[in-house]
């Protein structure tokens, strides 16, 4: 079972949104710490109200496979970073570009329970990951 499958299964047994928010915060606490040096302009995700950093590692393959580490200065956003990483990390560039995370976000009920700013931040993270996947394919 993948990390995102575990998250989906956990969401299915948590009915209360207060509990789900706490769970999202806990997910953020499980992230591998991002070194201070990685909190830089290159890794900063633009379009997020909170500070968000995503570090991308590309295994050239073939095919190129990407993995991500991330961090945020806001607890809930850090949990959203963990969810986005669980969706995309470890996949090939082509898989990343083919994935549509909207269905997953809808099944978790995330979009309807996020502020517009946080929703925009999630969109910015996804677009950043897709941009890195396109770059990895172009370099392959």
Q: What is the pLDDT along the chain (140 residues), one digit of tens a residue?
A: 468 999 999 999 998 999 999 999 999 999 999 999 999 999 999 987 899 999 999 998 789 999 999 999 999 999 999 999 999 999 999 999 999 898 888 888 887 888 888 888 899 999 999 999 999 999 87
Pairing of strands 52-59, 65-72: antiparallel
Preceding peptide of 81 cis, ω within 30°: no
In this prediction, residue 1 carries a pLDDT of 47
Where do the structural domains in the chain lie, given as residue ranges? 3-139
In this prediction, residue 102 carries a pLDDT of 87
Alpha carbons 67 and 129: distance in angstroms, whole number: 10
Indicate the helix (H) or strand (E) that contains 59: strand 52-59
- Token pair of 112, please? 């309807």
**Which CATH number fits the domain 3-139, given the four candidates 3.40.50.620, 3.90.1010.10, 3.30.1330.60, 3.40.50.300?**
3.90.1010.10
Q: In what order do the strands lie in the sheet with 91-92?
A: 52-59, 65-72, 91-92
pTM of the model: 0.93
Say whether 60 is catalytic.
Answer: no
From 27, 48, 83, 96, active-site residue: 48
């Amino acid at each position: 079972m993948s990390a995102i499958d575990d998250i989906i299964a956990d969401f299915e047994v948590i009915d209360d949104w207060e509990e789900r928010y706490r769970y999202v915060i806990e997910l953020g606490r499980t992230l591998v710490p991002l070194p201070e040096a990685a909190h830089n302009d290159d890794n900063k995700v633009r379009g997020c109200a909170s500070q968000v950093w995503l570090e991308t590692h590309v295994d050239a393959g073939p095919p190129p496979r990407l993995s991500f580490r991330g961090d945020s200065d806001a607890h809930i956003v850090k949990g959203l970073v963990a969810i986005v990483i669980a969706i995309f990390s470890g996949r090939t560039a082509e898989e990343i570009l083919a994935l549509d995370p909207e269905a997953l976000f809808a099944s978790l009920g995330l979009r309807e329970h996020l502020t517009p700013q946080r929703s925009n931040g999630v969109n910015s993270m996804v677009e950043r990951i897709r941009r890195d996947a396109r770059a990895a394919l172009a370099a392959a």
